[in-house]
Amino acid sequence: MKTDSIFYRLFQEFPGIFFELIGNSSPTLEAYKFSSIEIKQTAFRIDGVFLPTQSEQNPIYFVEVQFQTDTEIYSHLFSEIFLYLHQNKPNNPWRGVVIYPTRSLDTADINNYNEFFTSQRVSRIYLEELGETASLPIGIATIKLIVENENTVITVARLLIDRTQQEITTDLQQRQLLELIETILVYKFPTMSRKEIESMFGLSDLKQTRVYQEGKEEGARQEKLRMIPLLLRLGLSFEEISKEIDLSLEEVQQAMQK
């Protein structure tokens, strides 16, 4: 579903938003890596997993995004979690987070899993109940835009775009968040083209500015840098990687040193 890809992109580019969403501002972002994980020898795939990269004290977070009624969601979720734990045997504790657009979609029976919810090992988040968009942190407000009422979505989106330009000072993060907002609007207005949406919300002019273009170039460079470890594992030399991703040999070597 489109919402799955939006959440995957959101948590991958802005992992801090997830921890804001669950009310945990303590972990350093470098301590986690977000990915989607397929369980071996089954058809199970966990929507998203925040895997600790540092301390064994940090919990693993299993994230499920559910935008349609599924009476078996919890049996699937716990099967995936425990199969993952069985196969990988991590020393870290674990937590589960299920994200719904509305409480009305949470219809599955939890009778066999009650202890996980009462202990808050597994928590449920209903986007419509997060509060007024204007008073929310900008990351959480962006998530809530996904479920914003069609009568107010245009006003809220314009407010978010203004807030992003004012509150996000890092050029790369500002560009990423604006592009994410644009993607959500494409999802909300399926009959409109991306160019029409850019024009409607003033994003066309913004994309022509020097700051935006520089941020886009830096984003492309960062994406190339993220590919280097994968290309190394595939057996390419530094020289071959340099040619493949169009970066200097010195940049490739420096990236691996870091």
pTM: 0.74
Contacts of 102 (CB under 8 A, 6+ apart): 126, 127, 128, 147
| Confidence at residue 99, expressed as pLDDT on a 0 to 100 scale | 96
Residues in the chain, total: 258
Q: How far apart are CA 122 and CA 21, in angstroms?
A: 14
236 Rama class: left (phi>0) / alpha (psi -120 to 50) / beta? beta
Q: How far apart are CA 102 and CA 104, in angstroms?
A: 5
**Residue 28 reports pLDDT greater than 80:** no
Q: Over range 178-199, report the average pLDDT.
A: 86
Name the percent of the chain lying above pLDDT 90: 36
Which residue is listed with tokens 């909300």?
Answer: 188
Residue range 143-152, pLDDT digits in tens:
999 999 888 9
**Residue 204 reports pLDDT greater than 70:** no
Residue range 30-84, pLDDT digits in tens:
778 887 776 665 556 777 899 888 778 899 999 999 999 999 999 999 999 999 9
Q: Beta-carbon neighbour count of residue 95 at 10 Å? A: 19
Q: Over range 156-180, report the average pLDDT.
A: 87
**Residue 254 reports pLDDT greater than 90:** no
CATH number at 1-129: 3.40.1350
| Confidence at residue 50, expressed as pLDDT on a 0 to 100 scale | 92
Burial of 174-208, coded b for 16+ CB within 10 Å and e otherwise, reads bbbbbbbbbbbbbebbeeeeeeebbeebebeebee
